[in-house]
């Protein structure tokens, strides 16, 4: 029998505004209106400034471990700009810029890293999931959310973000296979920042691209310059239109770089060469847009100074809101668990004990015993 080709493909790389200032007029024309470009640039600057503020908060003991976003602002922002307001934005922990564009308050992110659970209650109607610190779990959530939307007949897709390291997790493969075989509209965005904490990307894949990991699941795949805001907008637009039309997933590899440590608990100098970091600083997504806008007479240093002054005030106010939030009452832990709280948990809530008082309610004062009995009866009637 003759030998035939079972499968053949290619993966395109998209770059519209490179780090040398070269702009592809054909691909970039009309992609981002000038007024929107200014707003997007301001959003990136505000996010970068908040990174600096958060770093100081952590170092002064006012916040826990924090992962800086600097260098990766264009990936999530480009997606958030393209997606509809009711499409799901399913992030991990370095997508602040996209979340803020969606309208998520900055203090919500700060509260999360301060250890306050209220920071995870993403306010509606932003269609953004809480920050996902466990590696790779959010990809499964994205597939589940859009499966539910499809079941309900809703025109809604999800865009989920993860790193090169997370693509070696079983959750990644399960989510990709689930979305492909069941034809679920998910845009998978792999942010290849070359490091999974201290593990280089070459230890996570020997393939020439991470984009091709989507090929085994039958997805269209694309690689883009993740530090090029125009390219991330272009790619997300292409992918979202495809998924919405076909109900099938799409895979994008955004090549970017984290300019800071993995988190404030990390010291990247122990495993990264400074020359590598300096090279990527020259590819900074913020500087690209700034230089582009200056060349197009859309921006100048006077506007820059005014922006930095405004951003400093806004971020200071966000810190104040996070630090001055009212202390939660312990009842909230119990009351949020059930529609009708079981009687034994009523006792725990009222006594704040799980030992003898919880096991033997007869030790309680008569008033507390009566309240527990009423709650128990209400629970029984409810069910």
Burial class from Cβ neighbours inside 10 Å (0-12, 13-18, 19+) for residue 21 reads exposed
How many distinct structural domains can be found in the chain? 2
Q: Which of 286, 305, 323 is the last residue of a domain?
A: 323
Asked if residue 124 is part of any domain, the answer here is yes
Are 209 and 345 within one domain? Answer: no
Active-site residue flag, 258: yes
Are 22 and 76 within one domain? Answer: yes
pLDDT at residue 307, rounded to an integer: 98
Quick one: DSSP state of residue 362?
G
Asked if residue 250 is part of any domain, the answer here is yes
Of 176 and 354, the one with more pLDDT: 176
pLDDT at residue 255, rounded to an integer: 98
Are 178 and 316 within one domain? Answer: yes
Are 343 and 310 within one domain? Answer: no
At residue 331, φ and ψ (nearest 5 deg) are -60, -30
User: Which range, of 261-265, 296-300, 356-360, 363-367, averages the lowest pLDDT?
Assistant: 356-360
Closest CA to 45 of 361, 331, 373, 312: 312
Q: Which of 323, 344, 365 is the last residue of a domain?
A: 323
Asked if residue 343 is part of any domain, the answer here is yes
pLDDT at residue 356, rounded to an integer: 60
Closest CA to 99 of 117, 126, 121: 126
Asked if residue 5 is part of any domain, the answer here is no
CATH number at residue 147: 3.40.50.970
Of 155 and 344, the one with more pLDDT: 155
Residues 372 and 364 sit within 8 Å (Cβ to Cβ): yes
User: Per residue in 288-342, pLDDT tens?
Assistant: 999 999 999 999 999 999 999 999 999 999 999 999 999 888 888 787 788 888 8
Model confidence at 344, pLDDT cuts 50, 70, 90, reads confident
Mean pLDDT within 92-114: 96
User: Per residue in 266-302, pLDDT tens?
Assistant: 999 999 999 999 999 999 999 999 999 999 999 999 9
pLDDT at residue 55, rounded to an integer: 97
Residue for token pair 């033997």: 360
Domain of 354, in residue numbers = 331-382
User: Per residue in 157-176, pLDDT tens?
Assistant: 999 999 999 999 999 999 99
Does 359 have pLDDT greater than 60? no
Asked if residue 2 is part of any domain, the answer here is no
Specify the 3-state DSSP secondary structure of 40: helix
- Mean residue pLDDT of the chain comes to 92
Closest CA to 258 of 171, 200, 189: 200
Name the helix (H) or strand (E) containing 223. Answer: strand 221-225
Residues 158 and 146 sit within 8 Å (Cβ to Cβ): yes
Does 199 have pLDDT greater than 80? yes
Mean pLDDT within 32-43: 98
Does 354 have pLDDT greater than 80? no
Question: Annotated catalytic residue: which of 102, 112, 262, 283?
Answer: 262
Q: Which of 288, 323, 358 is the last residue of a domain?
A: 323
Are 30 and 100 within one domain? Answer: yes
Are 207 and 318 within one domain? Answer: yes
Are 145 and 81 within one domain? Answer: yes
Active-site residue flag, 59: no
Are 227 and 375 within one domain? Answer: no
Residues 91 and 131 sit within 8 Å (Cβ to Cβ): yes
Model confidence at 147, pLDDT cuts 50, 70, 90, reads very high
Mean pLDDT within 148-152: 95
Active-site residue flag, 272: no
Asked if residue 20 is part of any domain, the answer here is yes
Are 356 and 208 within one domain? Answer: no
Asked if residue 6 is part of any domain, the answer here is no
Asked if residue 3 is part of any domain, the answer here is no
pLDDT at residue 121, rounded to an integer: 86
Question: Annotated catalytic residue: which of 258, 283, 288, 349?
Answer: 258
Question: Annotated catalytic residue: which of 59, 84, 203, 271?
Answer: 271
Are 212 and 342 within one domain? Answer: no
Are 213 and 344 within one domain? Answer: no
Alpha carbon of residue 263 to chain centroid: 15
Residues 224 and 254 sit within 8 Å (Cβ to Cβ): yes
Are 300 and 278 within one domain? Answer: yes
Model confidence at 215, pLDDT cuts 50, 70, 90, reads very high
Mean pLDDT within 163-190: 96
User: Per residue in 48-80, pLDDT tens?
Assistant: 999 999 999 999 999 999 999 999 999 999 999
State what percent of residues in the chain have pLDDT above 70. 93
């Amino acid at each position: 029998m003759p030998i035939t080709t079972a499968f053949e493909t290619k993966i395109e790389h998209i770059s519209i505004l490179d780090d040398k200032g070269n702009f592809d007029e054909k691909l970039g024309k009309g992609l981002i209106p000038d007024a929107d470009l200014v707003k997007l640039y301001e959003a990136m600057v505000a996010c970068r400034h908040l990174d600096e503020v958060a770093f100081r908060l952590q170092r002064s003991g006012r916040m826990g471990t924090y992962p800086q976003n600097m260098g990766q602002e264009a990936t999530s922002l480009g997606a958030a700009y393209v997606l509809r307001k009711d499409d799901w934005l399913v992030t991990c922990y370095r997508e602040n810029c996209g979340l803020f564009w969606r309208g998520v308050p900055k203090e919500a992110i700060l509260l999360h890293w301060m250890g306050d659970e209220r920071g995870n209650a993403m306010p509606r109607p932003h269609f953004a999931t809480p920050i996902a610190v466990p590696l790779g779990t959010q990809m499964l959530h994205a597939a589940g959310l859009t499966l539910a939307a499809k079941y309900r007949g809703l025109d809604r897709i999800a865009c989920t973000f993860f790193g090169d390291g997370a693509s070696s997790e079983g959750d990644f493969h399960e989510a990709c296979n689930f979305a492909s075989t069941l034809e679920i509209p998910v845009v998978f965005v792999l942010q290849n920042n070359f490091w999974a904490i201290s593990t280089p990307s070459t230890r996570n894949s020997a393939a020439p691209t991470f984009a091709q990991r989507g090929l085994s699941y039958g997805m269209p795949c694309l690689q883009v310059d993740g530090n090029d805001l125009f390219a991330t907008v272009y790619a997300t637009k292409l992918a979202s239109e495809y998924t919405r039309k076909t109900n099938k997933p799409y895979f994008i590899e955004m090549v970017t770089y984290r300019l800071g440590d993995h988190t404030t608990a990390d010291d990247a100098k122990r495993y990264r060469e400074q020359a590598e970091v300096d090279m990527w600083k020259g590819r900074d997504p913020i500087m690209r847009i700034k230089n582009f806008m200056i060349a197009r007479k859309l921006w100048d240093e006077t506007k820059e100074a005014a922006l930095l002054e405004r951003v400093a005030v806004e971020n200071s106010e966000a810190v104040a809101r996070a630090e001055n939030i009212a202390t939660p009452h312990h009842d909230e832990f119990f009351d949020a668990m059930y529609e009708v709280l079981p009687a034994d948990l009523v006792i725990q809530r009222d006594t704040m004990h799980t030992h003898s008082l919880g096991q033997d309610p007869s030790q309680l004062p008569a008033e507390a015993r009566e309240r527990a009995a009423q709650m128990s009866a209400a629970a029984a009637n409810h069910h």
